[in-house]
Amino acid sequence: MLELKNITKSYGEKDVLKGVNLKVQKGEVVGFVGGNGAGKTTTLKIITGILECDQGAVKINGVSRSSDVEYKQQFFFIPDTINVFKNVSGYDWIVFLMNLYKVKEYEKLENYIDRFNMQKSIKKPIGAFSYGMLHKMSLIAAFTINPPIIILDEPLNGLDPKAVLVFKELLKEYTYSGGTVFFSTHLLDVAEKICHTVALLKDGKIILHDQIRNIIGEKSLESFFMEAEIYERSLPIN
């Protein structure tokens, strides 16, 4: 589904990604975790074509980034900061995106608008939207378009408790029908509750990629990583 091969990226003399390798399978919800500055957002921008990598290759559904339009139709990306035209209505923006992806699922669109309780606000100008409303609008677009993979940066930011529940329900429906989700987060409890697997980025490389149940056993994901961090700090310096 999603494959990263030896991705490297530097900013000047700073090496951010030092050979990232990862395979995400169809139907998975994968949490991409790591500390601040680990390179999670840089990786997402490379996957989605916003940034160029220095070396390496990215494929989605066997389609490489060089295929441009075909490649971009394989995913829908929701960044942490959502910048769109402020004078356009939320509804018109979603319809515009649907046209780009050649999707005409208007009944599904209305269903998702109702489920996120956006009936009264979706036709207002986007400039009047709160951050949470922008995020819900983007999720409505993503699930309506129904691409092979949805990529998100901090997926729960700005969502109220009811919207979080709707999001989780739609994730289940989407992955049950074969969709794949790849999202970055620094909140380990979020990853534990939502994901099937976790990929840990540290020092520019993926150092752990496994199913959550195999990683934590009877522990929480937070306690696992806390113990691992303490253990690493206690190792003698050679």
Residue 229: the pLDDT is 59
Category of 53 on φ-ψ map: left (φ > 0), alpha (ψ -120 to 50) or beta: beta
Q: What is the pLDDT of residue 227?
A: 66
Greater confidence (85 vs 36) lies with: 85
pLDDT of residue 66: 84
Residue 149: strand pairing partners: 75, 180
Question: Model confidence over 94-130: pLDDT tens digits?
Answer: 999 999 999 999 999 999 999 999 999 999 999 999 9
Q: What does the pLDDT average to over 75-90?
A: 93
Name the CATH code of domain 73-186 (choices 3.40.50.300, 3.40.250.10, 3.90.1150.10, 3.90.470.20).
Answer: 3.40.50.300
What pLDDT does 65 receive?
85
pLDDT digits (tens, 9 = 90+) for 172-187: 999 999 999 999 987 7
| Domains in the chain: boundaries | 1-23+33-65+195-238, 73-186
Across the chain, where does the E strand assignment appear? 2-11, 14-24, 29-33, 55-60, 63-64, 75-78, 149-153, 180-185, 197-202, 205-211
Task: Give mean pLDDT, residues 152-163.
Answer: 90
Q: What per-residue confidence (pLDDT) applies to 189?
A: 80
Per CATH, the number for 1-23+33-65+195-238 is: 3.40.50.300
pLDDT digits (tens, 9 = 90+) for 56-69: 999 999 999 888 88
